[in-house]
Structure 1
Amino acid sequence: MFIRPHKPVPEPHVRSTLSELGYEFDLTDGKLRNVATGQAYEYGAFGADKKKNAELYQSLLAPASREVYRVLVESDLCMEPIAVPNAREPHCNIYVTPGGLSKERLVVIVTGHGVCGGVWAWNTLVKEGLKAGSVIEYVRSCVQQGFGVLVLNPNENIVALDGLPETFNTYFGASTPIRCSETPDEHVGYVWSRIIRSCAAKSVVFIAYNTAGIAVLDLLKHDFARFAIKSSGIAFIDSVHSTFKLNQASLEWLKLATRQWENSDEPVDTLVVNDRVGCLAVSAGNASDCRELAPLTCMNSVLAYVSECFKREPIDVDGLLALNDEEDDVKLGEQAELVSSDTDDYVAAIDELDSIQIIPPGAKVAEDRYIGWDE
């Protein structure tokens, strides 16, 4: 007799807050502390009981990450959520400082693989606290310098049954994909073409950590003219991007307008060799065994570079276009025409756009060929 295999019933997804678990972030030093004892979290809280230590650690990851959103919004930063694609359907949020999209200088922060928006890494967030594990100190420093800041959320690509966004790493039940944000690359492309490209900022600098470097570099690859005119530079932190299939104009812009902070125990800003990234590579000064501490150890150097990008003269896009072959010139020239066109009369409100590209009536459509840029 054939017996059907028993299908396991998925356990219900139970959300717990940090306070329910007995922990909270101390906003003075950023440490995660036990509410009852006041002691900072330590992985070995249960001594030699490895199972309990692991269970507590795992239970804290998602609630701690969601707490970062609360701090971004409710702390002195007063960041405002923007629903992507919009609040009328399943969505995730990105976060902008007050009036950030209206400032002349805008810093866009994109975190790497798997984590919630605003979190560099789960392990450093829980074990080391907000200063090492989140973008909060980066945002605060940029605000103090008068820059607007936009924090993207490339990894919350699905919505759980209770309507809240989740990452694929933290949720395994039934879910709904977030339209135009089903992958990190699609999310970054969507926010670029829907929000950043048409915002008031005259100069944009990206800070891209780890796998985020790939998604940001795709903007340069597929929308070169508009990206190079709008963007003053990219600060890569331990990025895993490469220059594969970049044309000559993009390669030259990358060399002139970007820098990579490589995970290395050499003193910060020491030159290191990395032929893959296509730009000057320097050490992040991370002498620890934890690779994810790189954003903290190189923070001052990265922020100084961001200011340098804003101060220098814009890269000559026309000069770079001349470096390409004839086929590249035609494609990039079409993009450049779109940039110089008068868009005031035909651009609708961002949340009412039917197409991600902004195309003047009668203009020839540039072929971005990038998922998420055309519906």
Structure 2
Amino acid sequence: MFLKAVNKRPFRRVSMIAKLCAPVAMMLAATASQAQETIRIGGIFALSGPASFLGVPEERGFRMKIDEINKAGGLNGRKIEAVVYDTEGNTTKAAQQFRRLAESDNVIAVIGPSSSGESLTVGPIANELKVPTVTHAGTEKMTVPVTPWVFNTPPTDRVVAAHLLGVFKKRGITKIGLMTAADGFGQSGANVVKELAPQYGVQVARHEEFNRQDADITAQVLRVKDSDAQAMLIWSAFPAPTIILKNAAAVGYKKPIYNSFAAASKDLIVQGGANAEGTYVSSMRLLAPETLSADDPMRQIVQKIYADYKERYKEAPATFTAHSYDALLIIEAASKKIQGPITRQSLRDAMETVSVAGGNGLYRLSPKSHGPDPESRSMILLVVKNGEWKVDE
């Protein structure tokens, strides 16, 4: 019996081709797998407690922008998975939840927390763990000086103070009574106002402090009333501004009352009621999108945020909505600059090259600037008239 000789060369050739193709196939499979995997972004907001007036609209803006990004295909083909925790406005919880997001949930970035105090607590941890973080602090201490891993979206207290002092100068107000909360936000605001006031010909005739949660602030209001201050400036988050309005009305204070951007919310009108009538606030443009001129680079995005929020939540947005929306806008723009996988390091590096218009202003980020451009004219003066916000500039 004779057996046919088998030519083994074709099999060797196929085997060699298979070996050559295997790495390519593995790379393609890995790329496809990465594209299908979600990318986790964490959010820590004060969804309950006294700072929820900040956290709730921030969380809404966060989810609204994530849905928008995912609908468009995600970040470089990867859908975003949101991981959100409620800090209750507590600095200890904010720190614990940040570590949980970074070390257990393996998020690529963190948005928040809501208040200046929480943000100042979280900032050093973000730099320690090397996690790109976009905080929502209203104090320039957050990004002055710049630290590698921390960015911030609200305008700083310096920008707001300059805006209000400019208003006082135009209106001939040369002496003010300054009312500030005894917390990080209030103390930073007081320092900046006192530093800048002489440049505008304004004198702080009386400075009073209070605890933001105080149920009665009458004593401080009376001392401002009895001074020669021509107007009162309140620098505090809620609930203090509405308590002060109530106390001022009760003691017959008749002079103008101005507020920092922390009070730029419907809560001032709802909680303040009739006492809020005639009160002024320095606000970001999101409360008055119609004030932006046709050639303003912020016009399109501000009007989009306003319209999208109103359609989704059936009410006008608070200015705080833009804090988180802008944070994700920056991350989205940064991801488009990344060649290769999105890592914490590659994202951080790309974020420092982003130039984009947001709801809070223009961002021209760089190694020397981790927040909105102070020259982007982001603030406008509003007054309560007939229970509604009206532009007063």
The answer to whether the superposition gives a TM-score over 0.5 is no
Q: Which one scores higher on RCO, CA 8 angstroms, separation ≥ 6?
A: 2
TM-score by length of 1: 0.30
User: Which has the higher Rg, Structure 1 or Structure 2?
Assistant: 2
